[in-house]
Chains A and B, each alone.
Chain A
C-alpha cells in the first residue's frame, strides 16, 4: 500500500463538526451561479431577467472560450442579474419552478458532455486554479477523496450510496488524460475499498496520513506529480466526480451535493442535501444562534468565502461554516495567560492543557493583533509540507519578482496551501490574497 506521510501541518481543535444526519433541502427556492467563484473566468451573460431556463442551460460563458459555460442547476426563471462595481457580473439568480421532464444527454464523449452540461467548470487546473482548458492534455488528474480542513465533511458519509457513481466518474476521467488518475484517501476509508476493487490500471489509489493540509489536493500533487512551468494537472472535488459518474451512468445531469453546515456558532451542526448554488438562508436559519453576530463562510474557515445570510453557496464548496464574529477588545490580551486561546506557538497557557477537554479553545474572527513586518522565521515550514521556502516565496510575491516566484516554485501552490501559514503568522499578514494576486499576474502575462 502506497502511503504518503505528511509531517508538517496543523489540525485546529475547533468545535462544531457536522453530525452524520442529513436534512433534504433540495426544495430551496432560489439558486445562483456566481462567475466570481471561478478564477480567471471572464463572464459573458447569455440570458436576461425573466428568461425561462432548464437545468443544464447555459447562463454565462467565458468570453475567451464559449465552450466553457456556467449552467443553471435547476429548472426555473432567471430572477435577477446582479452586477457589482464597474458592472462586473456578480451572480445570476434563478428561481426554481417545479421540475420538467429530465433531459437525457449523450454520454459517449466525456469531454463533450461535461462541456455541454457545464460540469466542466468543476474541473480545475493547477497551476492557477482556473477552469481547465479543454484543449490541454494534463499530465495527471488528482482527486482528493477526503478533506482535512477544520470541520470538513466526511466523504465516506457524504458519498454513501454514491460509491458506484464516484468510481464511474473516476473511470470517465481517465479519458481526459494521457497520464493516470490519482485518488487520495485516508487509511481505513471505506470508499477506498471500492476504488481498489475496480483494479483499473490508470486509477491509482494513494493513502495520505498526517495533519491538515494532507487533504489539500496541492499537497498531494506536490508528492505525486510536482508541477513545473508548462505542466498541467487537473483536479475535481469528490462530489463532482460522483455527479459526473451519475451523468455517465444514467445520462442525467444532477448537480446535487451534500453540504456540511458546521462551526462553533452552529446550533446543531449537520448535513444538508442541496442542489449546487443553493441560497443558504434556509440552511442557516435553524442553525444561527439568536444573540451572537455570526459570519457565514462558504467553505472552510481557513480559505472559505464570506457570504451574506441570504447569499449563495460558492461553486466549489461542500461546506458552510458559521463562525462567531470577534469584534471585541481584549484587555491586556498580550499579557494574560490565555486559557481559551488557540495558538500554534506555546505562548499561552492553553498550549499546556491536557487534551483541551476542560477549557476548549474559542475560535472567532478576531485577528488577535496588529499587522507587523515579518520578524519571526522558521514557523511557516512547520505547517507547509512542500519542498518550497514559504517565506521567500511570499516575499517574492510581495515585491512582484515574477522570475524569482517561478524559480521558487509558485506553480505548485494555490492560496489555500498557504492558509495555515497565514493562520499561524505572528505578523498577521494576509498571505492568501498575496499569493492569488501573484498567480493572477503570472497567468495574465501568459506564461
Chain B
C-alpha cells in the first residue's frame, strides 16, 4: 500500500518539476510529497549524519503542545454557553452536558480553524509558488494559534481578513518564515483589535449565544471587570482551571502549563523566555502591590498569571524563536520586559484591558536591538582581550 503510494508519487513527479506540465504547482506538490514522505535526500556537504529533527517535526511538536489548551478551550466554549443559554438541551453538570460542551465548542471552533488554515495556507502556497520556494511549516502553528486567541464570536470574514493581513504584511513582505520581526499570530489579533474593537473587547463577545452566527451572551472577563473598576467575580481557582469567559483557548492556566511542559521537555520552547516573562510580570505586580494606589494595584500579583492571555502569551507567543531575542542573555531581558509591560499596560491603561498582546508586539520590535547590544558586548570583550595581549606583549618586549 505504502509502496504503491510512493511509486505513484514518483511516477507523477516529473509533471511537477521544471519543464513539466504542472511546473507552476511545484511548491504545492513538494509540500504534499514531503508531507507524506520525509525525502530520501542524503547529506552531500558538511556533516555526514544529521539529527532526525526537522522543521516539520519541530512545528508538529508545538502543535501537540497546543492541544491541551485547544481541547480545554473547546470544552470551555460550550461550558460558558451552557451556564447561561436557555436553550441548552442537557441538565447542568450531567455527563451528557459535559460531552455536549465539548461538541458545541468543537463545532464553534472548527470554522475558525478552517478559515485560518485555508486563507493562511492559501496565501503561503501562493507566495512559495511565486518565489519558487518550498512551503514553510511555520504556518501550521500560526494558523492554529490565531483562532485560539480571538473571541469565539469573531465573524469569519473578519478572521479571514486578519489572517490575510498577518500573513502578507506580518510575514511574507519580509521574506517569509524566519525573516519576520513581528509574531504573525499577534499581528492578526492586533489587526482585529484595532479594526473591529467592538468585536474584540467589551462584555458581549466572549460567550457564544448559539451554535451558529456571531451573537453573544454578555459575560465579562476578569480583565474586563478590572478595567471597569470592579474586582474579578471568578475565584482564583476558576481562573487557574479556566472555567471563565475569555478568548477561546487562553483561559486555562493548567492546560497551558501542560503545553509548556511539552515545549520544555522537547527543548523546542525556551525556558529562559518563559521564566523571564513570569518574573517580569510578577515583579511588576509586586511593585504595584507596594504602591497600592487603587484596588487593581492591590490585586495579588499572581492574579496576573491567571487572568487573560498572560500565560498563553508567555508560553506560546513570547517564545516564538523568530521574533524573540535570539541570544540567551537577550532572551532574559526580552522576557522580563514583556512581563513588566504587560502588567503595566493592564493596570495603568484601562483602555487596553489586555496588555500581553501589545507588550509582546512592542518587545518583538525591540528584540533585534537587545540582541545587538548583547552581541556588541561580546565584540567589546574580544577587543579588550586583544588590547590586553598587545600591552602585555609590549611589556615583555621592553622588559
Q: Chain A: residues with CB nearer than 8 A to chain B?
A: 12, 14, 150, 226, 228-229, 231, 295, 297, 301-304, 306, 321, 323, 325-335, 338, 341-348, 350-351, 363-379, 381, 387-389, 391-392, 407-409, 415, 419, 422-428, 430-433
B270 → A minimal CB distance (Å): 6
| A334 and B324 alpha carbons, distance in the complex (Å) | 25
Contacts A329-B37, A335-B60, A408-B375; A345 near B326 (Cβ below 8 A) = no
Residue B68 is within 8 A (CB to CB) of chain A in the complex: no
Tell whether, in the assembled complex, residue A430 and residue B58 are in contact, meaning their CB atoms are under 8 Å apart.
Answer: no
Contacts A368-B51, A377-B326, A409-B382; A332 near B36 (Cβ below 8 A) = yes
B contact residues around A370 at 8 Å (CB) = 34, 39, 41, 54-55, 134
> For residues 24 through 61 of chain B, which have their beta carbon under 8 Å from a beta carbon of chain A?
34-58, 60-61
Tell whether, in the assembled complex, residue A378 and residue B48 are in contact, meaning their CB atoms are under 8 Å apart.
Answer: no
Tell whether, in the assembled complex, residue A347 and residue B61 are in contact, meaning their CB atoms are under 8 Å apart.
Answer: yes
Tell whether, in the assembled complex, residue B270 and residue A378 are in contact, meaning their CB atoms are under 8 Å apart.
Answer: yes
Tell whether, in the assembled complex, residue A423 and residue B177 are in contact, meaning their CB atoms are under 8 Å apart.
Answer: no
Q: Chain B: residues with CB nearer than 8 A to chain A?
A: 2, 6, 34-58, 60-61, 134, 136-138, 175-179, 265-268, 270, 272, 321-322, 324, 326-328, 331, 371, 375, 378-379, 381-383, 385-386, 389
Known: A334-B38, A347-B57. 17 other contacts (CB 8 A): A327-B42, A330-B37, A341-B52, A342-B52, A347-B61, A367-B43, A368-B50, A371-B134, A372-B177, A378-B326, A387-B378, A389-B375, A409-B378, A422-B46, A422-B47, A423-B51, A427-B55
B2 → A minimal CB distance (Å): 5
Tell whether, in the assembled complex, residue B268 and residue A408 are in contact, meaning their CB atoms are under 8 Å apart.
Answer: no
B contact residues around A342 at 8 Å (CB) = 51-52
Query: A343 contacts which of B35, B38, B51, B371 (Cβ < 8 Å)?
Result: B51
B contact residues around A348 at 8 Å (CB) = 52-53, 57
- Least CB separation from B176: chain A residue: A373
Tell whether, in the assembled complex, residue A428 and residue B54 are in contact, meaning their CB atoms are under 8 Å apart.
Answer: yes
By DSSP majority rule, is chain A's interface helix, strand, loop, or mixed?
loop
Could you show 18 A-B contacts with beta carbons less than 8 Å apart?
A14-B49, A228-B385, A229-B386, A323-B49, A327-B41, A331-B6, A334-B38, A345-B53, A372-B137, A373-B179, A375-B58, A377-B324, A392-B375, A415-B46, A427-B178, A428-B50, A428-B54, A430-B44
Tell whether, in the assembled complex, residue B379 and residue A407 are in contact, meaning their CB atoms are under 8 Å apart.
Answer: yes
Tell whether, in the assembled complex, residue B53 and residue A381 are in contact, meaning their CB atoms are under 8 Å apart.
Answer: no
Tell whether, in the assembled complex, residue A302 and residue B48 are in contact, meaning their CB atoms are under 8 Å apart.
Answer: yes
| A372 and B39 alpha carbons, distance in the complex (Å) | 14
- Least CB separation from A416: chain B residue: B47
Contacts A347-B268, A369-B54, A408-B378; A333 near B37 (Cβ below 8 A) = yes
B contact residues around A377 at 8 Å (CB) = 270, 321, 324, 326
Query: Nearest 6 CB-CB pairs, A to B?
Result: A369-B54, A333-B38, A373-B178, A341-B52, A334-B56, A330-B38
Tell whether, in the assembled complex, residue A424 and residue B321 are in contact, meaning their CB atoms are under 8 Å apart.
Answer: no
Tell whether, in the assembled complex, residue B321 and residue A368 are in contact, meaning their CB atoms are under 8 Å apart.
Answer: no
B contact residues around A331 at 8 Å (CB) = 2, 6, 36-38
A contact residues around B34 at 8 Å (CB) = 370
Tell whether, in the assembled complex, residue B331 and residue A368 are in contact, meaning their CB atoms are under 8 Å apart.
Answer: no
B contact residues around A426 at 8 Å (CB) = 51, 53-55, 58
Query: B321 contacts which of A329, A344, A347, A375 (Cβ < 8 Å)?
Result: A375
B contact residues around A425 at 8 Å (CB) = 50-51
Tell whether, in the assembled complex, residue A295 and residue B48 are in contact, meaning their CB atoms are under 8 Å apart.
Answer: yes
